[in-house]
Amino acid sequence: MAEVIAGVPAERGGSSLVFRGDAAQAADVVRRLLAGERGAVRDIVLLNAAALVAADGAPPTADLTAFLGKGVERAAAAVDSGAAADLLARWARATTRA
């Protein structure tokens, strides 16, 4: 199914990644993703973000694959521009204030 939706992670032949680990490992994965590391984690994060955009109430086009593809592009732009990292940093500051 993932190969059909927006072509992610079609280039990996449909392989997927299930991450398991402790909080430090998870934080490391997120930091590497936000620093620009490409791979299965990024592919799945972008696809999930695209689905969130679709679920947010924006009316999908007649072609759901193209609609999700646009969501993947928006998510990639947020990661690549540093906007996602900035948002995470603001969230961390807001949730750790005394």
Averages of pLDDT over runs of 10 residues in the chain (98 residues) are 45 53 83 91 89 72 78 91 94 84
17: closest CA among 52, 42, 35, 37?
A: 42
Structure tokens at 2: 């993932």
Residue 4's pLDDT is 40
**pTM listed for this prediction:** 0.70
Residue 3's pLDDT is 41
- Burial status of residue 18 (CB atoms within 10 A of its CB: 0-12, 13-18, 19 or more): exposed
